[in-house]
């Protein structure tokens, strides 16, 4: 049976962090205008879908209409401009300005150039720029734009972004939007093993050797192509392209389809974490999901310092979240925590 009972101190911390995030978003997103919210994460990374769900819940609470949304490969700036008018354009967070994931930055550059008079708000992101070339590219992202706001999800990112961006770009620090999610269900009876390891298989991984006696997995890189919600989103996007007269209807239908995709991905994430008592991971958002489930988790470094920066700013005080500098330390700690979890029932 799935439950979601959190330690009272953890619940209070989530509530404080959520309130801080909402207060910052309230400053930049007016309640009386529609917005664009882009890009939808058309991928299997559960963390991206956690952010998407959390932000849409916030917008719904404030009664803010999402007039336009799109995945990166279907973005049409002319349709966006017609739909949103002079409203705010909101960009999903993540790693969103570095060449580590260049399409994030290119979406911002394209929209900033096409929409010079709209407010641009980039949701809490890692802005650790990896070299001088990366910093130079980032500095021109919002070139000439007078109403661009970058939210950093840790203090290191705020410093890095502040150093790279011109003074016309406002940089502010606040927690990752995934911390706004409600407590998540955990099915303790589904645990098949003491320790599971969610390991990056991409260029952000630190290259740790992986133990052979632990279940190791990663989030899928793609969505299920023939799931009803994915197919629905593709149909809505196509109708919007070929019949713009129906855009107000298709935009609403597309946003509903995207939300269904994200909810399905979050369910899959919870089911994956149910398989072990304790999670070890070098990805960022799984530790937030574990904390929301009241599940022990040991975080490891990534290659660029993203995980440690968020741990220091947002996560250190959670009772179920621990840090380890290397796999050996992580596994020793995880096995201790598994014994503790078993004793706690």
* pLDDT of res. 43: 92
Helices 247-273/46-62 angle, 10° precision: 130
Q: Which two tokens stand for residue 69?
A: 């949304």
d(CA 258, CA 240): 15
DSSP annotation of 99: T
Average pLDDT per 10 consecutive residues for the chain, totaling 345 residues: 81 98 98 95 95 98 96 92 96 84 85 95 92 87 91 96 92 98 97 96 86 90 79 78 70 90 96 98 98 98 95 98 97 97 90
Q: What is the pLDDT, as a whole number, of residue 3?
A: 67
Q: Cα–Cα distances in Å, from 286 out to 43, 88, 110, 269, 300?
A: 16, 30, 31, 8, 11
**DSSP helix/strand/coil, 11:** helix
Sort strands 186-187 and 2-3 into parallel, antiparallel or unpaired.
antiparallel
Q: Please state the φ and ψ torsions of residue 317, each to the nearest 5 degrees.
A: -85, -10
pLDDT at 130: 81
* pTM assigned to the model: 0.95
- Residue 29: C-alpha distances to residues 96, 104, 109, 119 (Å): 19, 21, 20, 9
How many beta carbons lie within 10 A of that of residue 66, not counting itself?
24
Q: Quick one: pLDDT at residue 222? A: 77
Domain 2-180 in this protein, CATH class = alpha beta
* Per-position DSSP letters for 131-150, written without gaps between them: SHHHHHHHHTTTTT-SSEEE
Assigned token pair, 233:
């989103």
Radius of gyration of the chain from its Cα atoms, rounded to whole angstroms: 20
pLDDT at 4: 66
Cis peptide before 39 (omega within 30 of 0): yes
244-247: list long-range contacts, CB under 8 Å, 24+ apart.
244/79, 244/82, 247/79, 247/82, 247/83
The pLDDT assigned to 102 comes to 78
């Amino acid at each position: 049976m799935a439950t979601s009972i959190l330690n009272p101190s953890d619940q209070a911390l989530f509530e404080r962090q959520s309130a801080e995030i909402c207060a910052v978003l309230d400053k930049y997103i007016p309640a009386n205008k529609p917005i664009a919210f882009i890009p939808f994460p058309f991928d299997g990374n559960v963390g991206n879908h956690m952010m998407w769900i959390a932000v849409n819940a916030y917008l719904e609470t404030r009664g803010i209409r999402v007039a336009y949304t799109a995945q990166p490969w279907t973005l049409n700036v002319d349709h966006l401009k017609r739909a949103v008018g002079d409203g705010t354009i909101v960009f999903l967070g993540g790693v969103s300005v570095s060449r580590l994931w260049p399409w994030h930055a290119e979406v911002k550059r394209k929209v900033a150039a096409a929409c010079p008079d709209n407010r641009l708000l980039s949701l809490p992101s890692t802005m650790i720029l990896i070299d001088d070339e990366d910093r130079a590219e980032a500095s021109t992202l919002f070139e000439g734009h007078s109403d661009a706001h970058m939210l950093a999800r840790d203090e290191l990112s705020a410093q890095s972004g502040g150093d790279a961006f011109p003074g016309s770009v406002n940089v502010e620090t606040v927690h990752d939007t995934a911390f706004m999610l409600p407590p998540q269900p955990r099915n303790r009876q589904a645990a098949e093993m003491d320790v599971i390891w969610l390991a990056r298989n991409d260029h952000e991984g630190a290259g740790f050797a992986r133990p052979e006696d632990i279940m190791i997995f990663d989030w899928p890189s793609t969505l299920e192509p023939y799931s009803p919600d994915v197919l629905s989103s593709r149909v809505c996007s196509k109708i919007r392209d070929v019949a713009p007269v129906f855009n107000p209807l298709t935009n609403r239908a597309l946003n509903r389809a995207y939300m269904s995709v994200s909810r399905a991905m979050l369910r899959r994430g919870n089911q994956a974490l149910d398989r072990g008592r304790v999670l070890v991971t070098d990805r960022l958002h799984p530790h937030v999901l574990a904390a929301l489930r009241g599940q022990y988790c040991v975080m490891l470094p990534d290659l660029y310092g993203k995980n440690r920066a968020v741990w220091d700013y947002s996560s250190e005080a959670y009772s179920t979240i621990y840090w380890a500098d290397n796999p050996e330390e992580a596994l020793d700690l995880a096995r201790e925590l598994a014994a503790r979890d078993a004793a706690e029932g």
